[in-house]
Amino acid sequence: MTGKIALILILVVGITGCRRQQASGPAGLSELGIAGIHEAYEKGTLTAEQLTQAYLERMAELDDQINAITFINTEAIAIARQLDDEYRMTGKLRPLHGIPMVVKDNINTRGMPTTAGSWALQDFIPDRDAPIIARLVDAGAIILAKTNMAEWAFSPMHTESSTHGTTRNPYNPDHVPAGSSGGTAAAITANFGVIGLGTDTGNSIRGPSAHCALVGFRTTLGLISRSGIVPLFLRNDVAGPMCRTVEDATRVMEVMAGMDPEDPITVHAQGKVPSDYKQFLVKDGLKGARIGVLRELSDDNVDPEVKALFEQAILDLESLGAEIVDPLDIPGFSSLRQNQWCATFRKDVESYLATYVQRDSLSTLEDIIRIGSGSRFSMDRLTDHASRSGRWGDPEEACGDAYQDPKRIAFRKAIEGAMDSLGIDAIVYPSWNHKPARIAFFEEEYLGDNSQVISPHTGQPAFTVPMGYTGGNLPAGIQFLGRLFDEPTLIRLAYAYEQGTRHRKPPSLE
């Protein structure tokens, strides 16, 4: 990095108002946020081209330690220059003007590979962006790179692909960043970009965000389009932001939210999308809030260090003005959570292949299996899905979306009913009850993944926010669960908790 760019970026860090901890490596890129970057653009102390170049240099210097990046966008600098020219001409910044982002490798990006980490798609290059990518690019975001993922999004435990191998946790490289969006999580926590995108079928935005001290938003099913995304189980899949702050995640979500005619489930968002989500970023937003503690999750085989962090988080919520309902009882919770998963991978992935890939030689799950995988874990999952269909544990019960499936509706009604009866604004529990597993022992040490239990089935929004660190410098997250389409309340509560505790700190990369 040139001395001039380094100096400019160090000045920008002072503008952002972030905690001024500096990660080692190329200077000045630690913890930059959207608002601070835009202020620097307006002051003329930074350009999008300078910022983009600095992030690319940081990736080149440091990514070999964590293996988060799968593809660098060779057009990123040219796009940044165009945005700089536009701002000089118009004097106006788009919502994400000149903001570098990284994108999980299962989201279609025009002219760039979208592989889902697999050999089968390793040379697939979409000819158009997924609708959410089009929205973000229209808002001024710059795609810097694609990020590694657990192949086909199969693993919540770790991030390993046939195309790019294993991603490591930047806080402790012997440990996993969870899966399947571990590449995005590792890249954003290592300050390889400002904002990141992941997908979440059961865990894959919130789990990696919690493991990497990030904010991860799993929004209401139907709020954000899933078109142009390689699916795992479309009935559960959500795309969303993975960022270093609640504010940045909110800004990204605001651009992504809304109806898409290519994704029928988004019809449920009609009339439920505020024009301005940023208004809910209220520092004292916990005052007068009622928060329920779901002990059925938080106390289930919990690591003592994670439990201590969570108990402190409850005290912090209370000190910040919340009224705590502890424990919150949800009638029938243990039985309603059963038999919620359905095996729809074959149907969903074959539909994606027919719509976007359009190759006679790659149209079925059997074609994918024939091409093979470099990951034993992924190959086992592929062969399992080839012989599996219907609902796990109850094959006679039909599988539907979150608005039609009786089991899903009953589960959600029980949770929202308990919230309504007690005037609860949100429910909290640890995103994971255990520390990030060691890479060498990820299957044995995969324990305490609470993200899988509720929101993927009920369709409710759930946000994770950093709540501190356990031994080994390993992050932990607290999760806020809300009612359908009540992202405004979750933003208010999560932001107030974040601002009142400020647990996020960058990792040290040599």
ω before 180 within 30° of 0 (cis)? yes
Q: Are 177 and 212 in contact (CB under 8 A)?
A: yes
Q: What is the DSSP letter of 234?
A: T
Sequence-ordered list of residues with C-beta below 8 angstroms from that of 488, at least 6 positions apart, any chain: 274, 277, 280
- Catalytic one of 104, 146, 407, 505: 104
Alpha-carbon radius of gyration of the chain: 21
One-letter amino acid at 37 equals I
Question: How many Å apart are CA 141 and CA 127, to the nearest integer?
Answer: 19
Q: Which of these, 309, 345, 383, lies nearest to 152 by C-alpha position?
A: 345
The yes-or-no answer on residue 43 being catalytic is: no
* Tokens of residue 28, six digits: 């000045």
Q: Which of these, 182, 187, 259, 262, lies nearest to 229 by C-alpha position?
A: 262
The yes-or-no answer on residue 92 being catalytic is: no
Q: Please report where in the chains the tokens 């997908």 appear, as a residue.
A: 199
Q: Please report where in the chains the tokens 């002990």 appear, as a residue.
A: 295
3-state secondary structure (DSSP) of residue 497 = helix
Q: Are 429 and 479 in contact (CB under 8 A)?
A: yes
Q: Where are the alpha helices (DSSP H) in 109-165?
A: 131-138
Residue 75 phi/psi, 5-degree rounding, is: -95, 0
Q: C-alpha distances in angstroms, 424 versus 293, 329, 381, 458, 482? A: 10, 12, 39, 17, 9
Q: C-alpha distances in angstroms, 247 versus 194, 242, 254, 258, 430? A: 12, 11, 11, 19, 21
> 69: which strand partners?
147
Q: C-alpha distances in angstroms, 436 versus 196, 216, 507? A: 20, 16, 15
Question: How many Å apart are CA 182 and CA 195, to the nearest integer?
Answer: 14
Question: How many Å apart are CA 466 and CA 464, to the nearest integer?
Answer: 7
Residue 480 phi/psi, 5-degree rounding, is: -110, 120
Residue 438 phi/psi, 5-degree rounding, is: -75, 140
Q: Are 229 and 115 in contact (CB under 8 A)?
A: no
Question: How many Å apart are CA 173 and CA 395, to the nearest integer?
Answer: 41
- Catalytic one of 30, 118, 161, 180: 180
* Tokens of residue 407, six digits: 């089991």
The yes-or-no answer on residue 334 being catalytic is: no
ω before 327 within 30° of 0 (cis)? yes
Query: How many CB atoms are closer than 10 A to CB 440?
Result: 10
- Catalytic one of 161, 204, 227, 455: 204
Catalytic machinery residues: 104, 180, 204
